[in-house]
A and B are shown apart, each in its own frame.
Chain A
């Protein structure tokens, strides 16, 4: 006997993502889904965000890692609420994980939540978390060909950070090539150059964060 099913396999995640999104909207909170490969500097970029916007924005961080609490402890040491999610082998965060993390945050006291997704450029791109903006970090030590290799994530994001820009002269990273490739995928996306070590570009990063935190919900590019 044949049964017509016609059910979306990602329906559970999409429904929960929509609930998360609504919950944020009800409390007037924005949420950024920050994605990058392992070692691109996600935690350092978040720490720069905290340092440079904490006098204007009320922040919280959700840390996604396969194991350990290293990142959330580093954020808590800065007196910022941090929720650690350990995926125990899972390669991405899901909307259900974010829903339970939101349960542990007092949304009425926040303007902006930054999610540090699991270090990976493939899987996180397929799972909507209910965020209001998506951001990917590429670091100059990874090479300028990342958008060629992982086009989906570069196509989907609302902003891109090129991190470790202070190392540019030591790496074979062709910034013009990188920008051209990104333009072919996502023509209007802002590309911010940043160094967490010497502070280059932190002003632009701060302004982008402030705009994201005060603007209405940003429509996600699909």
Chain B
């Protein structure tokens, strides 16, 4: 349920970006998520439906892109993709590894437009 706070942050960032661009409507939001975070995309979608109501992002479609995890073994320096927190180095079996990628959570981009009824601002 910590997705509630995350969704509030998403909406805050999206609204700021859209108003800076003078856009009246947000159509699409692309969120990048490392595959080892514990955030659940369907939960974010659920909260987004509630929180975005009445905002410029009300009808925006959320798109999630997963970022593969990448780690370097602390023992033999092999590079590999840990697929869970229990993963060990496929070369030497050591559980000691440094995660280089896989716990990110950021907004990659948004797609915005003007509603049909808006003035002569254009894009």
Contacts and interface: CB of A to CB of B under 8 A. Distances in A.
Give the interface residue-count category, chain B.
35 or more
B84 A91 contact: no
Contacts of B86: 148, 151, 184-185
Interface string B84-123: 1110100000011001000111111111110000000001
Given A9-B13, A125-B38, A184-B88, A3 B112 contact: yes
Contacts of B13: 5, 7, 9
Interface band, chain A:
20 to 34
Interface string A1-42: 111111111111000000000000000000000000000000
A164 interface: no
Contacts, number: 91
Task: Classify the secondary structure of A's interface with B.
Answer: mixed
Contacts of A192: none
A6 B107 contact: yes
Interface of A: 1-12, 90-92, 94, 122-123, 125-127, 148, 151-152, 154-155, 183-185, 187, 222
14 contacts: A1-B111, A1-B112, A3-B17, A3-B21, A4-B109, A8-B105, A9-B9, A9-B13, A9-B105, A90-B4, A91-B2, A152-B85, A184-B86, A187-B96
